[in-house]
Structures are given as C-alpha cells and as structure tokens.
Amino acid sequence: MPVSPEPMTSEPRPRALIVMGVSGSGKSTVGEALAQRLGWRYEDADAYHPKANVAKMSAGQPLTDDDRWPWLKAIAAEIDRVIAGGGHIVFGCSALKGAYRDVLVHGRDDIRIVFLDGSRELIGGRMAARKNHFMPAGLLDSQFATLERPGPDERPIIASIDAPVATIVDDIVGQLPTSTSD
Ligand SMILES: Nc1ncnc2c1ncn2[C@@H]1O[C@H](COP(=O)(O)OP(=O)(O)OP(=O)(O)O)[C@@H](O)[C@H]1O
Ligand SMILES: O=C(O)[C@H](O)[C@@H](O)[C@H](O)[C@H](O)CO
C-alpha cells in the first residue's frame, strides 16, 4: 500500500509580523528583539502617526477611528512596499480593533498578527515606570476599552508578556509556521 505523504501545511512563511497590543504592552521592546532574532527590519507605527495624533494623545485624549484610518492605511502601504521588494518586516502597531487589523492584513496570509497579551495591572505598572514617552498612563483604560482581542479567524500568534523579553521572543518564534512554501 502506498504511504501517504505527510500533510503539508498550507500556511506560507510570513513576510510581515504585526506586533499588536495596548500602549505599554511591549510592542517596541519585543518587536525590536523579534526583528533582531529573525534578521528582519523593525518599524514602529508610532513614527507614522501624524503630529496631530501625537499631540492629541499627549494631551490625554484618545484617538478616534477617523484619526486612525489614514495612519493605518499608510502602514499597510509600507508593509506592501517592503514585501513587494522581497523584504521582511516586523511592525509594532497597536491595531486595537479587528477592523484596524483588516486594513493592515487586507486578506494576505503572509502578514500575521502577534498579540502581546497582558493584564491591565502588569502593563499599568510598566507604563508608570517608563520615562520620556508621550503616551500618558491615564489613557490605558481607554486602550483596554477599545481593544478587541484577535479571534481565531485572524490566526493570531498570542504571547503572554508576563515573561522576560527573550522568552517572549522564543514563544513567538516557536509559533511561526515552518512551511517553506513562500
Ligand atoms: N517583557 C518585559 N519585561 C519587563 N519590562 C518590559 C517588558 N516588555 C516591555 N517592558 C517595559 O515596559 C515598558 C513598555 O514597553 P514598550 O515601550 O516596548 O511598549 P509599547 O507597547 O511599545 O508602548 P507604546 O505603544 O506606548 O509605545 C517599557 O519601559 C519597557 O522597557
Ligand atoms: O491606536 C492608538 O491609540 C495609538 O496607536 C496608541 O496605541 C499609541 O500610539 C501607542 O500605543 C503609543 O503609546
């Protein structure tokens, strides 16, 4: 009897990882370490906010959907540009709602979501200790209120942030598809 081959995973190797989560969840810290581990470029979505968005958050006001759409579209365009050029990228981006992630992923199965999962208490403590950052800790409640955790349909890679950075990176890398079918 012929032996059937091992089933091939249909998941392509990711070309872009969107490291998402509320303010202070560790997107920059973990995202940069992850990019370094993979040998990929890291970009921070905070650098793509128009000045008006940063001014608003600095003044303690949460952003609205309308503040976020152009910002998300600019990030999606940059991800597409990098992939089209044969590159790989890790983007640290809050991407709090499912609709925001739809703009970023736009149906591509080589763009994957990495959710940094942590409690309000843990993140609040880290934000209170953080220096020289425009985001006031007072906006954390609004970040959690806006957060829609990624559902299974989004095939998220979920990592607990209650661990040292290197352990979080190990966890994420261990969940990446190993298929070579890209
Ligand atoms: N695993 C960790 N263990 C301990 N401290 C951490 C860890 N990850 C991040 N931190 C610290 O928590 C704080 C928040 O992390 P970071 O600035 O990377 O978050 P962020 O999600 O990029 O925030 P923001 O979106 O507000 O820019 C920083 O002071 C960082 O050094
Ligand atoms: O969508 C948002 O509300 C913003 O992207 C925020 O999350 C901050 O820019 C970021 O987290 C820096 O603190």
Give a yes or no: residue 182 inside a domain. no
Give a yes or no: residue 1 inside a domain. no
At 6 the three-state DSSP class reads coil
Task: Provide the CATH number for the domain around residue 169.
Answer: 3.40.50.300
Give a yes or no: residue 31 inside a domain. yes
Distance separating alpha carbons of residues 39 and 50, to the nearest angstrom: 29
Give a yes or no: residue 9 inside a domain. no
**Ligand 2 centroid to residue 13 C-alpha, Å:** 28
* DSSP designation for 152: G
pLDDT in tens, 108-149: 999 999 999 999 999 999 999 988 888 888 899 999 999 999
Give a yes or no: residue 7 inside a domain. no
Give the total residue count for the chain: 182
Give a yes or no: residue 100 inside a domain. yes
The total number of structural domains that make up the chain:
1
Of 96, 127, 147, 115, the closest CA to residue 18 belongs to 115
Please work out whether the CB of residue 24 comes within 6 Å of at least one atom of ligand 1: yes
Please work out whether the CB of residue 46 comes within 6 Å of at least one atom of ligand 2: yes
Boundaries of domain holding 147: 16-175
Q: Which residue has the tokens 């991800």?
A: 79
The pTM score is 0.92
Give a yes or no: residue 60 inside a domain. yes
- Whether residue 173 contacts residue 97, with contact meaning beta carbons closer than 8 Å, is answered with no
Please work out whether the CB of residue 68 comes within 6 Å of at least one atom of ligand 2: yes
Give a yes or no: residue 33 inside a domain. yes
pLDDT in tens, 29-87: 999 999 999 999 999 999 999 999 999 999 999 999 999 999 999 999 999 999 999 99
Q: Which residue has the tokens 């609205």?
A: 64
pLDDT in tens, 2-17: 555 554 556 889 999 9
**Burial of residue 10 (number of CB atoms within 10 Å: 0-12, 13-18, 19+):** exposed
